[in-house]
Amino acid sequence: MGSGIGSETIHLVDWILVAAYFVGMFFIGMWAYRKVKEFEDFLVAGRALTLPILVGTLMASYYCGMYFFADAGFMYSEGTSADIFYYPPYYLLMILMSFFLMTRLRVLGDISLPDILERFYGKITRFFGAIGSFFYCVPVMQLMACGVVFNVLLGWPAWLGALVGGAFAVLYTLLGGLWAVAVTDMIQFAMMFSGVILSVPIALMAHGGWSNILALNPEWHLDPLGSYTSWIILGVYAASSLTLLVEPAFYQRFFAARDHKTALRAFIVMVCFWLFVDRILVSVGLIAWASYPGFALPIDEAVFTTILHYLPYGISGFFVAGVFAGIMSTIDSYTLIGAANISYDIIKKIFKPDLSEERTLWLTRVMVVATFILSFGLMFIFPRIMMVWLLQAAILTSVAVIPILGAFFWPFRKSAFGGTLSALVGFAATIVYIAAVMVFGTPVPGWDTIIWEVNIFGVTVHLWAEMVVYVSIVVALLAYIVGNFFGTPLDPQLYRERRALS
């Protein structure tokens, strides 16, 4: 099936299956279009998502193009280290979010993350929260992943594949909003993982068993540190999991559930799926190295190419359609949320509160297209998908994590100024750090990162681009403490009511 390292071909039957997937998604979009009567139908599916749909859309949105390319590429390049440092914090934080945070969020009756920020800290904090959420949601890495798929299969340049695949996802999002996104996600979730799961036993048999796979991997691939020489860098990946506490897609799905119990059950089921799927991902990363050792493939293409290499005709098409499904399920989801951050969270809620439901719906559809165009342009700036993720995570963390956690768990004096100052200073510090590293730093091709060497009192400090997450969270916390000390205290009754309702 293979046609040389780094490229794979699939049979005509497989292409027919892929084409059928695209046609099916379009018709689902048309069906969902008829269900959209008002803005809340478009953004949160009328708060009517059932458990199967909710689980499907959560899994498909989170395990997106990053799953097959950035996360899987990390496994290919670093081995088992991410299974120790990257994934466990997500499991712990999801449990925290499900049992301690979501219970409090549901009673508020809001439909977005910025809604919650305004409730406690005012419109300025809403603005920065919406901006942070927007930058996090522009689907740059998903478009990059889409370009990788078309490049591996057809040899297309990455920009063309991103344009074609992304435009299709935007089309059915424009039609049906979250109804189209959620229903297609449920189907896409099943397709996404079937090929991955089937490829593992086939690859194991081809290599003569798991022991041979491990023997073909270098020792550092099985080392907790991987090829890194510092625990600090691996800690960056663990720290990036803080975005889970303010993940816009999770908030949107939670508010879209038909009731609190459905939402809570969906998130518990999702964690169980995570435990299984992540183990599969580690296995495929090690299989990819055994098949293409010594970085014979580009990191972001390695696992996708490996899986495709071992699947027979027919199943290959199902898998490719599933990969497209995974990518597009996130392009549609995040494009919708990013668009609503501008149309609903900023324009309607801050500048035009009298904007009608019909005009808000129309404006959101316009912003869906604008968000896609911006994402397509940003795609040309970053060298690797994982770097995009880390930078976007840092921006969202800087403006939202501390204010959200503070609203519900900070036991001391609170003020609107505290939340606003945290979001403002955190966002500014993140942008300054990123800009400084990119301007003064030196690219390191082997690790696909940028490092800025700074001499402090005769000591050379290496500042990696990925370390921005440390800066964002620490600065935001300090600003929150200072702002709460100097700002006018909020009415404690607000927090007592929230606790009572929870």
CATH number of the structural domain spanning residue 199? 1.20.1730.10
DSSP structure string for 206-239: HHTSHHHHHHTS-GGGGSTTTT-S-HHHHHHHHH
DSSP structure string for 242-305: GGGGG-HHHHHHHHHBSSHHHHHHHHHHHHHHHHHHHHHHHHHHHHHHHHSTTT-S-GGGHHHH
> Is residue 498 a part of any domain in this protein?
no
Phi and psi angles of residue 313, each rounded to the nearest 5 degrees, phi first: -60, 150
Phi and psi angles of residue 464, each rounded to the nearest 5 degrees, phi first: -80, 150
Provide the pLDDT for residue 222.
79
**What is the spatial distance between Cα 43 and Cα 39, in angstroms, rounded to a whole number?**
6
Provide the pLDDT for residue 399.
92
**What is the spatial distance between Cα 332 and Cα 341, in angstroms, rounded to a whole number?**
14
Provide the pLDDT for residue 499.
42
> Is residue 26 a part of any domain in this protein?
yes
**What is the spatial distance between Cα 57 and Cα 417, in angstroms, rounded to a whole number?**
36
Q: Are 318 and 10 in contact (CB under 8 A)?
A: no
Provide the pLDDT for residue 3.
36
Provide the pLDDT for residue 154.
76
Count of domains forming the chain: 1
226 C-beta neighbours (distance < 10 Å), count:
21
Q: Is 211 exposed, middle or buried (0-12, 13-18, 19+ CB in 10 A)?
A: exposed
Phi and psi angles of residue 489, each rounded to the nearest 5 degrees, phi first: -60, 140
Question: What's the distance, CA 371 to chain centroid?
Answer: 16
Q: Are 14 and 324 in contact (CB under 8 A)?
A: no
> Is residue 475 a part of any domain in this protein?
no
Tens of pLDDT along the chain (502 residues) come to 333 334 455 677 777 877 787 777 667 666 655 655 555 555 555 566 777 777 777 776 666 555 666 666 777 777 777 676 667 777 777 777 777 777 666 666 566 788 888 888 989 999 999 999 898 888 887 788 778 778 877 778 888 888 887 887 777 666 655 555 666 666 767 776 776 777 788 888 888 888 898 888 888 777 776 665 555 555 666 666 777 788 887 777 777 777 777 878 887 888 888 778 777 778 888 888 888 887 777 776 777 777 777 777 777 777 777 777 677 767 777 888 888 889 888 998 898 888 887 788 788 888 888 888 888 888 777 656 666 777 788 888 889 999 988 888 888 888 999 999 999 999 999 999 988 988 898 887 656 678 888 888 888 888 887 788 888 889 999 999 999 999 888 766 655 544 433 3
> Is residue 413 a part of any domain in this protein?
no
Domain ranges, residue 179? 12-385
Instruction: From 20, 76, 50, select the one nearest 304 (Cα to Cα).
Output: 76
DSSP structure string for 176-213: HHHHHHHHHHHHHHHHHHHHHHHHHHHHHHHHTSHHHH
Phi and psi angles of residue 263, each rounded to the nearest 5 degrees, phi first: -65, -45
> Is residue 91 a part of any domain in this protein?
yes
Half-sphere exposure of 209 (CA within 13 A, CB side): 2
Q: Are 407 and 419 in contact (CB under 8 A)?
A: yes
> Is residue 98 a part of any domain in this protein?
yes
Instruction: Provide, for the chain, the percentages of residues in helix, strand and coil under a 3-state DSSP scheme, each rounded to the nearest 5.
Output: 80, 5, 20
> Is residue 143 a part of any domain in this protein?
yes
- Between the CA of residue 248 and those of 114, 337, 418, what are the distances in Å? 9, 7, 22
List beta partners, residue 451.
442, 464
Instruction: From 103, 105, 132, 101, select the one nearest 116 (Cα to Cα).
Output: 105
Half-sphere exposure of 136 (CA within 13 A, CB side): 28
> Is residue 410 a part of any domain in this protein?
no
